[in-house]
């Protein structure tokens, strides 16, 4: 049986793993390569590196990180943040990433998804979406709006519509981040996740809000997510991957056993 | 020396990194002489069957792969590499290498998400040296929308269930192929690759 995937997200700024709350204020918490190797050995199913380096002249650091990670871990991992062009995608994949996640650039330039999918394969292209709840309106019938620039700019685009369009353009997967839930540790946004996951035929990764193993159970069972992104609940040693998976297994969620 | 066939696409480098990590000498090449003189040949693959077969033929790699098989050199196909060894693929209606009789099919539309992406079990149907020492509960990383369907049961080494059961490890004589990515499947994936590099091509 296909397992539900547990994906650890590492936000990387100038070569260091960092963690922020609601997209504001970040603290460095370690070396991404060392952390990646630890999670790999603990039995995580996949990793995501999200480059939040602000200055463009320090962007090459992430490529070095990707190379080093690829030499050390043998599970899939994706890279997102600051990917705007085909050339950016090519560099990250060449360095050893399995997938690339596009977010702001895809909203501003949707053909980037189709070109990327055509060139590298659909399975390489993850459509990252930052979504915030809003009032339902003719423009936003689902009541969820797409934001860009790391959750700083609303776009007046309906999240459900954008997810379907992204799938049509060739995205192989959607990473759905709830801006409202992100950093709260109060649980994933279940209604958002189940709405999107039930409306597309590609896998959906739920992101934002994970604080305890129960939250993952809920997003898999009620939210219909195919994978769940976690960060702070493991970064500070509160839970291990094994503890989370054992809990999920007991709750009847299919997970890859740590053996 | 293991040859990893370079056909200008596919993630050949991740296979190379995994072998280097295992301390196995390998080279990425499309030179017929270098491929034929190797102790093992790996064809990793991601991409579409039609386009890949075009590239294979334009580089004359089809006859090279047939020669590898004829000379009994152990051959490992990965992902798309487990599909193009069949006769024909529903993807692009591609005519493939026909090393194993059968057809590559697309997962039926039955409410499952496509691609089949993530970690899944394998049920071993028959013993094979590349599966030696693999834990029964081990899972492997898959990402594909098509799957190989060998015509003869004796060519199915392991199966996996995703909506329907399908052949996830297939083989015949010195040919073996996995629909999953051992190079991305953690400890047991690396173990399987190591087994392949130590395999003499007989079962």
pLDDT at B56: 94
Q: In this structure, what token pair is assigned to residue A259?
A: 């053996």
pLDDT at A201: 94
pLDDT band at B10 (very low <50, low <70, confident <90, very high): low
- Please state, in angstroms and rounded to a whole number, the distance separating the CA atoms of residues B96 and B87: 5
Question: Which of B114, B116, B119 to mutate against chain A (most A CBs within 10 Å)?
Answer: B119
CB contact at 8 A, A155 and A146: yes
pLDDT at A259: 83
Share the mean pLDDT of chain B. Answer: 95
What is the percentage of chain B residues whose pLDDT exceeds 90? Answer: 90
Q: How do residues B145-155 score in pLDDT, each as one tens digit?
A: 999 999 999 99
- Residue B18 has its nearest CB partner, among A5, A74, A203, at A74
ipTM above 0.90, yes or no: yes
CB contact under 8 A, A71 and B17: yes
Chain B partners of A40 at a C-beta cutoff of 8 Å? 186
Going along chain A from its start, the domains and CATH numbers come out as 5-250 (3.20.20.70)
Pairing of strands A77-80, B75-78: unpaired
Q: What is the mean pLDDT of residues B110-121?
A: 94
Written out in words, the top-level CATH class of the domain with range B2-197 is: alpha beta
CB atoms within 10 A of CB A212: 15
B28 to chain A, any CB pair closer than 8 A? The answer is no
| Burial (CB count within 10 angstroms: exposed 0-12, middle 13-18, buried 19+), residue B200 | exposed
Q: How do residues B35-92 score in pLDDT, each as one tens digit?
A: 999 999 999 987 789 989 999 999 999 999 999 999 999 999 999 999 999 999 999 9
B162 to chain A, any CB pair closer than 8 A? The answer is yes
User: Between these two residues, B10 and B192, which has the higher pLDDT value?
Assistant: B192
Give pLDDT < 50 ranges for chain A.
Answer: none
pLDDT at A60: 86
Chain B partners of A2 at a C-beta cutoff of 8 Å? 116, 118-120, 142, 162
pLDDT at A121: 86
pLDDT at A21: 58
pLDDT at A258: 85
- pLDDT at B102 > cutoff 80: yes
CB contact at 8 A, A148 and A177: no
């Amino acid at each position: 049986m296909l397992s539900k995937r547990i994906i650890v997200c590492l936000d990387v700024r100038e070569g260091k793993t960092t963690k922020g709350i609601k997209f504001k204020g970040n603290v460095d918490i370690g070396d991404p390569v060392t952390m990646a190797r630890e999670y790999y050995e603990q039995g995580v199913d996949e990793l995501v590196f999200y480059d939040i380096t602000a200055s463009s002249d320090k962007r090459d650091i992430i490529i070095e990180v990707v190379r080093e990670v690829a030499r050390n871990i043998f599970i899939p991992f994706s890279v997102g943040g600051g990917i705007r062009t085909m050339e950016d995608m090519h560099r990250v994949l060449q360095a050893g990433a399995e997938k690339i996640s596009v977010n702001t650039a895809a909203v501003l330039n949707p053909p980037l998804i189709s070109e990327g999918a055509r060139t590298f394969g659909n399975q390489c292209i993850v459509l990252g979406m930052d979504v915030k709840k809003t009032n339902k309106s003719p423009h936003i019938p689902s009541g969820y709006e797409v934001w860009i620039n790391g959750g700083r700019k609303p776009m007046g685009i309906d999240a459900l519509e954008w997810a379907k369009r992204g799938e049509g353009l060739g995205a192989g997967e959607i990473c759905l981040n709830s801006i409202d839930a992100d950093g709260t540790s109060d649980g994933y946004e279940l209604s958002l996740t189940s709405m999107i996951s039930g409306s597309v035929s590609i896998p959906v990764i739920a992101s934002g809000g994970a604080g305890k193993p129960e939250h993952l159970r809920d997003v898999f069972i009620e939210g219909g997510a195919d994978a769940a992104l976690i960060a702070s609940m493991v970064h500070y040693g509160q839970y291990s991957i094994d503890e989370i998976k054992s809990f999920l297994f007991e709750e009847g969620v299919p997970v890859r056993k740590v053996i | 020396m293991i040859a990893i066939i370079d056909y200008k696409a596919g993630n050949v480098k991740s296979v190379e990194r995994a072998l280097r990590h295992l301390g196995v000498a390998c080279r990425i090449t499309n030179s017929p002489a270098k491929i034929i003189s190797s102790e093992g040949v790996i064809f990793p693959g991601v991409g579409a069957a039609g386009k890949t077969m075009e590239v294979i033929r334009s580089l004359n790699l089809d006859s090279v792969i047939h020669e590898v098989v004829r000379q009994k050199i152990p051959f490992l196909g990965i992902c798309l590499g487990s599909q193009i060894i069949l006769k024909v693929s529903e993807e692009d209606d591609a005519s493939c290498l026909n090393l194993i009789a059968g057809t590559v099919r697309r997962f039926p539309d039955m409410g499952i998400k496509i691609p089949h992406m993530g970690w899944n079990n394998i049920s071993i149907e028959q013993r094979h040296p590349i599966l030696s020492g693999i834990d029964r509960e081990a899972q492997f990383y898959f990402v594909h929308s098509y799957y190989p369907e060998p015509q003869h049961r004796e060519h199915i080494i392991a199966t996996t269930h995703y909506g329907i059961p399908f052949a996830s490890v297939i083989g015949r004589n010195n040919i073996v192929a996995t629909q999953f990515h051992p190079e991305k499947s953690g400890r047991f994936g690396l173990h399987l690759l190591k087994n392949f590099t130590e395999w003499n091509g007989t079962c």
